[in-house]
Structure 1
Amino acid sequence: MNTTFSVIMPVFNSEPYLKEALDSIIRQTLSFKDHIELILINDGSEDDSEALCLQYKQNYPENIKYKRIENSGPAVARNTGLDLVSPSSHYITFLDADDKLEANALEAASAFFSVHPSVKIAAIPIYYFEEKTGSHNLNYRFDQGSRVIDINKEYSSPHFYIGGIFIDRSIITEKVRFNESLYFWEDALFVNKIILSEQQYGVISGTKYWYRQRISLNSLVDTAWKNKYRYTELLQTGYMELVTASLQMHGLILPYVQFLLVYHLKLLLVKKNNEMMEKTLNETEIRIFVEELKKLLVFIEDKYILEQSLLNYRKEFLLNLKHDGKFGKLEFIDKIDKEASIHITEKKLKGLHVEMKGYFTSEFYSMKESDKVYIQIGNRKMYASHRDPGKKVIIWGYLVTDYKNDGFLIQVPIWCLSFRFGLETHQGDIELKRINYIKTLYRRLFKRK
């Protein structure tokens, strides 16, 4: 058998999904019997995964290797698989036992490496299926087609996931292994140490790695948020090890590494993950986590935080952690969305007026105590009174944004059918949302007809 690809698949209690994953390899457009070696590592499964693996091995004895180990985690399972790769194999890839490969994935990878023989590591785009569907956020890297990314020129194109990665076997040595002390992010660290060494990686378009977002949400990635390891220890071992690797290889922390760390770190700022963290860690553990994060942020230039696709108040939060609260606010009054910044939450008829309650909101500006919401009727200004909407943003116990000045209450004359909201600030007046009840009434009458 002239082996071209070795596919390493750790298996742990994957019986409901395993057949689909196995078949996606066997049914590749690249001949399974002639060019593919499938290495199955049973990581101590307690279901019927072993029986299914052995059945497939019996059907394809020349192409499938199988080994059972005590439950040790994905890093140990993948390293065990690496040790079983045949010397004749050219490229190594990994597939989780609940995921699957597009039928042309290996053929597309083979074609890419034939055009780019000097490239030692490449990735294919990731797409979700089952509970969540659609394209992975990082798939923008594939918009220009198959190509080679120079991480020194395109540092804002990080890669994390082991699935859909193809690695030239010639660079896999005894030192190139998954860190078995890590229980999360071991794949990102493994992949990125190789990328740092190569300073480039390929992106292969026209195919897909299918990542199963389980309905049960019981995968290692899903449950990691409930594991204390996911927080402080990840900073100390996973993140900092990548920082150390960059320093050892290049004498500096490459922009690629800095951008990548913030890109991954921002997941912790998402509300649901923030809430999960507060349920998982106690107050002392959260405080220790924040102190460790501050140490990490010292290695990251401000620009790589500012360049992230991240809400402004979250950027402010990270930058103020880094600068001990001395960074201040990120405000861009010229970026306020004039139509979307005024929200009316309640309208009530009171005599000859309509009482409106609402709030001002913008990612780029928070109202000051001296700011005033008003409505403009012709040349006349009518000011709203302040009211606290009770909205706050708290991250890891820190009050990040308090919207106490953003609420308003205003009395609008009942005869006024058209007016514009505005905001009076120390930088001048800003015209905001226009209200036109004449148009609203016309549309309603038109719809009835």
Structure 2
Amino acid sequence: MKFAIIIPFYNAEKRLEISVESVIKQSYGFAENIQILLINDGSTDKSGDIADALVRKYPQNIYQTHIKNGGPARARNIGLMHVRNDIDFVGFLDADDVYSLHMIREMAYFAEKHTEINMMVPPFYYLDDFGTRKKIGAHKLNTRFEQGSRVVNIQEDYKAIHFYIGGTFLRFERLKRLAFDESLHFGEDQLLITKLLLDDEAYGVVADVGYFYYRNMKNKSSLVNKSWKDKSRYESFMQVVYQSYLDASKAKFGMVIPYVQYLISYHAKLYFYKENVYFRDVLTAQEQEAFVTTFQQIFSEVEERYVWELDTAQPVKEMMLSLRKNGWPVRFETALLADIPIISLHKKWHANGHAELICDVEEARTILPEKSFFAVKTLFSTKKATLEKRSEDQLIWDVVVRPAGTISKARIRLKPWELRGKWFYQHADLKVELEHFRLMAELRQRAKRRLKLKRALNQ
């Protein structure tokens, strides 16, 4: 089985060679089985020279073409024009990213076993510090790999959504009937992938490999981050991308299937993240109204429950549902408070053997009900949590979603002999168990996972 890897690049001199080397070093047999297509998208730095040197070193396997800067969709389409006829699958690799050592070997094994599948994807990991690789984080959508390598049916597993091209492998014969939409400067990959999945209804997940994506948290100048300053990222994007999903689903299935509803909900939540603060700066008042109105129209075909099921902060869900209900002008509404607060839990380990349990309170509460508290019970004692309140308003765009003075966290510090027990919420006479914790065991498991990922990276 033979593979072509398309790598578009623009001013990627710092990392291009590292990305290409992750393909050359594959355990599957580079010389016999792999073609690399380097698409120079109008680079003005030395990355074109680096690509030329790689072509000279591997003339039978690496091809470079130079084009005027036209964006990733055009670059990938041109790359597809140069794929050899003997290629079985085409993979896509961004010039910042790397494959794990056995990526292509495992893809080949899976494709040979599942000949009906036209798309395969690996788990996706972030490298926050590429220089030392100390920080490796898993993408939230990696939960679909917990059952191992398998075929996913999107009708049966609607939360197993996929929409990014990096790391995706597509059967070349299938790709010949598709193309990336060159009118889009972002989202062109998810549009193509979703069209394919709505037709095929299934794809493969290959668990024991990794696609490693470099994410520089100190420098947010990537194409993805810049997109929030582009007017076309708002109303027109929703019309071209989300609306096309709705139309395609209704045309084939006679309804908007759960997969599409969850996909739109999952992706649209990005508009309300704190990093994306440009809504008021980028759009005029008229454009803001058009965006919110379009958002409401799109989400009129998405059931509320798919928003509530998102693994994201409660204020984001409330903002999405407020726009769905109220449209323009923006009128934010918090959800009704329940007896048991909506929370998310996480831990923090300290070098001196101490640890903290931290409970983020998602709701807009100023006080807990009478005789209610968060606490932990260990072998030695029961400890109540200390409540923390927000010192300033929490905003989405310029809308206050959590006022200053509302409860932000419940926090408990644990000593080295208190790292095992139960975290619970006491509400009057009702005791609700939140989590059993064994922090030393969790820390060891975390270290093992990190070591496994670093070994998988094999760089």
Give TM-score scaled by structure 1 length. 0.76
* Structure 1 residue 264: Cα displacement: 1.1
**What is aligned with 2:156?**
153
**What is aligned with 1:142?**
145
**What is aligned with 1:278?**
280
Does structure 2 retain, via aligned residues, the 8 Å contact 1:332–1:364?
A: no
**Structure 2: gaps (5+ residues):** 130-134, 347-359, 374-388, 409-426, 432-459
Residues 48 and 405 (structure 1 numbering): CA distance in 2 closer, same or farther, change over 3 Å? closer
**What is aligned with 2:208?**
206
Matched position secondary structure for 1:80: helix
* Structure 1 residue 98: Cα displacement: 1.5
Does structure 2 retain, via aligned residues, the 8 Å contact 1:316–1:329?
A: yes
Residues 227 and 336 (structure 1 numbering): CA distance in 2 closer, same or farther, change over 3 Å? closer
The C-alpha deviation readout for 1:350-389, integer Å capped at 9, x for no partner, is xxxxxxxxxxx94346359xx986899xxxxxxxxxxx97
* Structure 1 residue 218: Cα displacement: 2.5
* Structure 1 residue 51: Cα displacement: 1.4
Q: Counterparts in 2 of 1:281-292, with a 5 A limit?
A: 281-292=283-294
The C-alpha deviation readout for 1:259-309, integer Å capped at 9, x for no partner, is 011111112222232x23333334433232211111111111111112112
* Structure 1 residue 249: Cα displacement: 3.0
Residues 105 and 393 (structure 1 numbering): CA distance in 2 closer, same or farther, change over 3 Å? same
CA distance in 1, matches of 2:8, 2:390: 51
Q: Counterparts in 2 of 1:408-427, with a 5 A limit?
A: none
CA distance in 1, matches of 2:117, 2:407: 54
**AA in 2 matched with 1:172:** L
**What is aligned with 1:20?**
18
* Structure 1 residue 146: Cα displacement: 0.4
Residue among 331, 342, 357 paired with 2:337: 331
The C-alpha deviation readout for 1:155-210, integer Å capped at 9, x for no partner, is 01111210111111121224x11111111111111112111111011100111111
CA distance in 1, matches of 2:263, 2:406: 36
Matched position secondary structure for 2:55: helix
Residues 34 and 312 (structure 1 numbering): CA distance in 2 closer, same or farther, change over 3 Å? same
Residue among 231, 243, 255 paired with 1:228: 231
Does structure 1 retain, via aligned residues, the 8 Å contact 2:2–2:89?
A: yes
Does structure 1 retain, via aligned residues, the 8 Å contact 2:364–2:406?
A: no
**AA in 2 matched with 1:78:** R
Q: Counterparts in 2 of 1:91-240, with a 5 A limit?
A: 91-131=89-129, 133-174=136-177, 176-214=178-216, 216-240=219-243
CA distance in 1, matches of 2:430, 2:36: 64
Residues 375 and 9 (structure 1 numbering): CA distance in 2 closer, same or farther, change over 3 Å? closer
CA distance in 2, matches of 1:186, 1:212: 20
* Structure 1 residue 401: Cα displacement: 4.5
CA distance in 1, matches of 2:16, 2:271: 31
Matched position secondary structure for 2:298: helix
CA distance in 1, matches of 2:185, 2:265: 20
Residue among 308, 311, 318 paired with 1:309: 311
**AA in 2 matched with 1:231:** Y
**AA in 2 matched with 1:49:** S
Does structure 1 retain, via aligned residues, the 8 Å contact 2:179–2:192?
A: yes
**What is aligned with 2:78?**
80
Does structure 2 retain, via aligned residues, the 8 Å contact 1:366–1:403?
A: no
Does structure 1 retain, via aligned residues, the 8 Å contact 2:154–2:259?
A: yes
CA distance in 2, matches of 1:306, 1:173: 38
* Structure 1 residue 243: Cα displacement: 2.1
Matched position secondary structure for 1:122: strand
**AA in 2 matched with 1:236:** Q
Matched position secondary structure for 1:333: coil
User: Does residue 259 in structure 1 map to residue 262 in structure 2?
Assistant: yes
**What is aligned with 1:55?**
53
**What is aligned with 1:366?**
365
Does structure 1 retain, via aligned residues, the 8 Å contact 2:36–2:61?
A: yes
CA distance in 2, matches of 1:219, 1:139: 23
Does structure 2 retain, via aligned residues, the 8 Å contact 1:263–1:308?
A: yes
* Structure 1 residue 247: Cα displacement: 2.4
Does structure 2 retain, via aligned residues, the 8 Å contact 1:101–1:208?
A: yes
CA distance in 1, matches of 2:372, 2:79: 68
**AA in 2 matched with 1:331:** L
**AA in 2 matched with 1:395:** I
**AA in 2 matched with 1:294:** Q
CA distance in 2, matches of 1:39, 1:396: 41
* Structure 1 residue 21: Cα displacement: 0.9
CA distance in 1, matches of 2:43, 2:269: 33
**AA in 2 matched with 1:126:** F
**What is aligned with 1:438?**
none
* Structure 1 residue 135: Cα displacement: 1.2
CA distance in 1, matches of 2:390, 2:147: 46
* Structure 1 residue 100: Cα displacement: 1.1
Report which stretch shifted further, 236-245 or 87-96.
236-245
CA distance in 1, matches of 2:294, 2:123: 33
Does structure 1 retain, via aligned residues, the 8 Å contact 2:107–2:206?
A: yes
Does structure 2 retain, via aligned residues, the 8 Å contact 1:13–1:45?
A: yes
The structure number with the bigger radius of gyration is: 1
May I ask how many residue pairs the two structures share in their alignment? 376
CA distance in 1, matches of 2:127, 2:404: 38
* Structure 1 residue 48: Cα displacement: 1.4
CA distance in 2, matches of 1:16, 1:25: 17
**Structure 1: gaps (5+ residues):** 341-360, 377-387, 408-427, 433-449
Matched position secondary structure for 1:183: coil
Matched position secondary structure for 2:15: helix
